[in-house]
Amino acid sequence: MSGSGTMGGFSLLEVMLTLMIVTFGILGIANLQAKAQLAQLDAYQRAQALMTMSDIVDRLLLNRSTASCFAFTDDTAVGTPYIGTDGANHLGTPVCTVGDAALNAMAVDAIDDFDELLKGAAETKDGGNVGAMVGARACISYDSATELTTTGGALLDGTGEYTIAVVWQGQGDSAPSTASNCAYGLYGAETKRRVVTTKVRLAHLS
């Protein structure tokens, strides 16, 4: 009888240990799945940001004669003004007065289009915009210190670098970005602010 009771006790203990192992295994799988979903969402948002940035570059190149109107981010220390998701220091209504009326209007329309694109207007659901990254914003700045010079040393106006930055709110924490300060401080912790950037220099046609 005592041997049978001991075997029964060991069997119950084995069952309990097995249940604990299975439970921890299931919890581990669920945790991995949750992390995988967050990583997938981050990757999707990064792909969207890169496509948006490419679109901005294309439109900037298309509007060469009014390119200076696109350099609306004049405070690169904190990345303002910006376009996209509303907040403090949003650009508001763009203004362009460097070309003729038709070209100025094209530049303003392009900036307005970017603003709406970043607000997710390309796709709607239940009356709300859902076609963009979370908290999507963009900054465009111009660095006159990078302007090219003639053989005689004279600066060539408009040949400096334009920096385009697209930012959004990531789902998890990552190392703070130093690539651009676009919309700095608007995402809570800087570990949530995601950034993609590129630089563009317009060719000097003479």
Give the residue numbers spanning the domain of 49.
2-201
- Is 112 domain-assigned? yes
3-class SS of residue 97: coil
The Cα–Cα gap between 119 and 136 comes to: 7
The Cα–Cα gap between 101 and 171 comes to: 43
Q: What is the pLDDT along the chain (206 residues), one digit of tens a residue?
A: 455 555 555 688 888 888 888 888 888 777 777 676 777 888 899 999 999 999 999 999 999 999 999 999 999 999 999 999 999 899 999 999 998 999 999 999 999 999 999 998 766 566 665 668 899 999 999 999 999 998 888 988 889 999 999 999 998 888 998 999 999 999 989 999 999 999 999 987 66
- Is 64 domain-assigned? yes
- Is 25 domain-assigned? yes
- Is 76 domain-assigned? yes
Domain count across the chain? 1
- Is 206 domain-assigned? no
Q: Which sign does the torsion angle of CA 73, 78, 84, 90 carry?
A: negative
pTM attached to this predicted model:
0.80
- Is 89 domain-assigned? yes
- Is 144 domain-assigned? yes
